Amino acid sequence: MTDILQALLSGLALGGVYALVALGFSITQTTTKTLNFGQGEFLMAGALVAVSALALVGGKGGAPLVPSDVTITRYALAILVVLGFLAALGVLMFLTAVRPFVHSGGMSWIMSTIGFGILLQNSALMIWGPGTLVLPSPLGESVIRIGGAGIRAQELLVIAVSGIVVLALDHVLRRTRIGKAVRAVAANPDAAALMGIDVRAFVIGAFVLSSSLAGLAGVLVAPITTASAFMGLGIALKAFSAAILGGLTSPRGCIAGGFILGCLEAGVGLWRDEWREISMFLLIIVVLVLRPAGLFGRAEFEKV
């Protein structure tokens, strides 16, 4: 029983990260029908910039961070720095790697966003090198016991933040005028522009938000995984799977997809290690056959 509770808690902690990154995929998909395939590298940039920001504040130079360097205030400041940096990076990527191709109708943006990610990764290798950097959690490393199962405070933070972010986003998209405008831009940019909506601003905003979310995920996950130039790809792949599973166009779907995949990964691990990834991708295939738009996605009709 404790084992199952443990798997559930561990799964939610893993799933929270997948969900945050999956949301980033969803946001650009709904507004521009493009995806940022460099999302994992944005996450990596967020984590590494946070490590450097904290090292700078703590006056550490090149030495590894120790728990006393990371107070809650400093960590919050690091998050703000990362959000700002990643927002700028999102705009830069949109202008250089998405906008030139978005109306050409082809698939060029897939390659250009992947390329932008590779560019980021290699820049990170130049700046931070290939090693892993430790970012201690501002909430300490002690284990919190829930019904015999253990979880760390940082993992609870990941679950809480992804929950809050998705609720907020869901509210904005469904209940506010901004949300309505976003949906209008997604449905028909030309008509939206005629209605007086600043389409360009919304599209840039989508990339800013999507990149910032990846950066936020990076800062949140680094105390659990450590930060390195190679940390992004694995997480981004699972996050993308989560988005597909839950429904790429639905924020609720993305978060559900993230948590389902996380729990599946931890739960199947109780039984067989080899089956962890097999079962994840089997589930995705089954869901896509039965519900092509994902668990929460609405089927799209393309008028020809």
Partner 1 sequence: MRSTFRLPALRRLAAALAATLLTCAAAAQDIKIGFNADQSGTGAAELGVAARHGFELAIEDINKAGGVLGKQLVGVIRDDTGHPPKSIQNMTELIDNEKVAAVIGPTNSGNALAWLHIPQQKKVPVIVPVATATEITRRYANEPQNFIFRISMVDREQVALLVAYAIKASKNQKIAIIGDATGFGQQGIKDLTEVLALHGLERAAVAKFAPKDTDMTSQLARIRESGADTLIVYGLADANAQLLRSMEKVNYFPTTLGTWGNMSTALLEIAGPKLSEHIIFATSIAENSSPRAAALAKRVRARYPKLATFVSAAQAYDAVMVLAAAMKKAGTTDGAKVAEALDTGIPETQGVVKTYTKPFSKADHEALEVSDFRLARWKAGQVTAYEDDITKTLTPADFKK
Q: State yes or no: residue 198 binds partner 1 (CB under 8 A).
A: no
CB of 6 or CB of 31, closer to partner 1: 6
Which of 10, 31, 39, 121 lies at the binding interface for partner 1 (CB under 8 A)?
Answer: 10
Alpha-carbon separation of residue 35 from 38, 98, 130, 173, 227 (angstroms) = 9, 9, 27, 18, 24
Only one of the segments 34-42, 82-90, 92-100, 264-272 lies at the binding site for partner 1 (rule: CB under 8 A); that segment is: 264-272
For tokens 């950066």, the residue is 215
> Considering the complex, what minimum distance in angstroms separates the CB of residue 130 from partner 1?
6
Query: Segment near partner 1 (CB under 8 A), from 7-15, 107-115, 174-182, 196-204?
Result: 7-15
CB of residue 258 to partner 1, shortest distance in Å: 15
- Work out how close the CB of 75 gets to partner 1 at its nearest, in angstroms, rounded to a whole number: 18
What is the C-alpha to C-alpha distance for residues 217 and 43, in angstroms, rounded to an integer?
6
- Could you tell me which stretch among 76-84, 125-133, 246-254, 286-294 binds partner 1 (CB under 8 A)? 125-133
Q: How far is the CB of 144 from partner 1 (least distance, A)?
A: 9
Instruction: Quickly count: other Cβ atoms within 10 Å of residue 152's Cβ.
Output: 19
Nearer to partner 1, 48 or 208 (CB): 48
Identify residues 209-228 at the interface with partner 1 (CB under 8 A).
224-226
User: Which residue's entry shows tokens 């943006």?
Assistant: 109
Q: Using alpha carbons, select from 207, 193, 280, 194 the residue that is nearest to residue 237.
A: 280
Site stretch for partner 1 (CB under 8 A), options 107-115, 147-155, 170-178, 282-290: 147-155
126-145: contacts with partner 1 (CB under 8 A)? 129-132, 134, 141, 143
**Whose CA is closest to 27, among 219, 137, 178, 230?**
178
Q: Which residues contact 210 (CB under 8 A, 6 or more apart)?
A: 23, 24, 25, 27, 28, 36, 39, 90
Residue 126: name the closest of 214, 48, 234, 221 by CA.
48
Q: Judged by CB under 8 A, does residue 288 bind partner 1?
A: no
Give the DSSP letter string of 134-153.
Answer: ----TT-SPEEEETTEEEEH
The identity of residue 197, as a single letter, is I
Asked whether 269 and 276 are in contact (CB, 8 A), the reply is yes
Write the single-letter amino acid at 139. Answer: L
Residues numbered 27 to 66 that lie near partner 1 (CB under 8 A) are 64
List of residues contacting partner 1 (CB under 8 A): 3, 6-7, 10, 13-14, 64, 129-132, 134, 141, 143, 149-152, 224-226, 231, 234, 266-271, 273-274
